[in-house]
């Protein structure tokens, strides 16, 4: 992974999050705290605005700097969670690199596992992890096979969509949605939708490079 690749991904994600504003806000109004899109937009804008600070740094240093900035920029519980993901990715990048699909999958898995531990959550609780954990597992599985990257990325997009749609039939156990009990059933989790949008965007970017 090159720092320029991180910056290109950040710009693509910013545009994708902005283009899904109405959908994300609608989902969050239904079962969330009403600030999900605002936090996602603030976070993605912040990373893009850091280009001048990041472009001369090594990838692990850039990821760590992003983590520190998001920790102080994104409100609520989201800041520490997302920052922990970037910190774990940075550690994996520094120790092992990300120059092969296997190493990239391992770095992503490290980020997801740290986020899971920090948030004390897992699959089936109607959160972004219902997208991130299945995608991480699929990435690890496919990266260890002799499969062309473009087919891996398509499979990851499919996995992300399945995970996102699955949250519609779940009872939430985390956040404001947990107070709604069964009334949250029938609504897709906004965090899961954001995660799906981000996975799609990065996979499309990687496919076209």
Residue ranges in the chain modelled with pLDDT below 50: none
Name 162's Cβ contacts closer than 8 Å, sequence gap at least 6.
134
How many angstroms separate the CA atoms of 21 and 1, rounded? 29
pLDDT at 114 (0 to 100): 95
Tokens 């997302």 identify what position? 82
Provide the domain limits for residue 55.
Answer: 3-208
- Write out the two tokens for 51: 């280009």
Look at the alpha carbons of 104, 107, 113, 119 in this order and tell me if their dihedral is positive or negative: negative
Structure-token match 């600070």, residue found: 53
The pLDDT value recorded for residue 194 is: 94
In total, how many domains does the chain have?
A: 1
| pLDDT at residue 29, rounded to an integer | 82
The pLDDT value recorded for residue 178 is 59
The pLDDT assigned to 181 comes to 62
Please tell me the predicted confidence (pLDDT) of residue 38.
86
pLDDT in tens, 105-123: 999 999 999 999 988 889 9
Q: What is the pLDDT of residue 176?
A: 60
CATH value at residue 25: 1.25.40.340
- For residue 85, the surrounding DSSP H or E stretch is helix 78-96
């Amino acid at each position: 992974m090159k720092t320029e690749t991180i910056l290109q991904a950040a710009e693509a994600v910013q545009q994708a999050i902005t283009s899904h504003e109405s959908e994300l806000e609608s989902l969050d109004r239904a079962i969330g705290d009403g600030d999900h899109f605002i936090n996602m937009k603030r976070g993605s804008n912040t990373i893009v605005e850091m280009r001048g600070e990041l472009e001369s740094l090594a990838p692990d240093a850039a990821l760590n700097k992003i983590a520190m900035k998001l920790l102080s920029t994104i409100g609520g519980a989201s800041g520490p969670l997302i920052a922990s993901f970037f910190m774990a990715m940075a550690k994996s990048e520094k120790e092992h690199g990300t120059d092969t699909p296997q190493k990239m999958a391992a770095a992503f898995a490290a980020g997801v596992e740290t986020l899971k531990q920090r948030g004390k959550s897992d699959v089936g609780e109607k959160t972004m992890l219902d997208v991130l954990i299945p995608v991480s597992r699929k990435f690890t599985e496919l990266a260890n096979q002799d499969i062309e990257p473009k087919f891996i990325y398509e499979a990851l997009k499919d996995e992300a969509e399945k995970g996102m749609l699955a949250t519609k039939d779940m009872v939430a156990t985390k956040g404001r949605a947990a107070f709604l009990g069964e009334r949250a059933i029938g609504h897709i989790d906004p965090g899961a939708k954001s995660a799906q949008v981000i996975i799609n965007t990065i996979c499309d970017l990687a496919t076209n490079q």
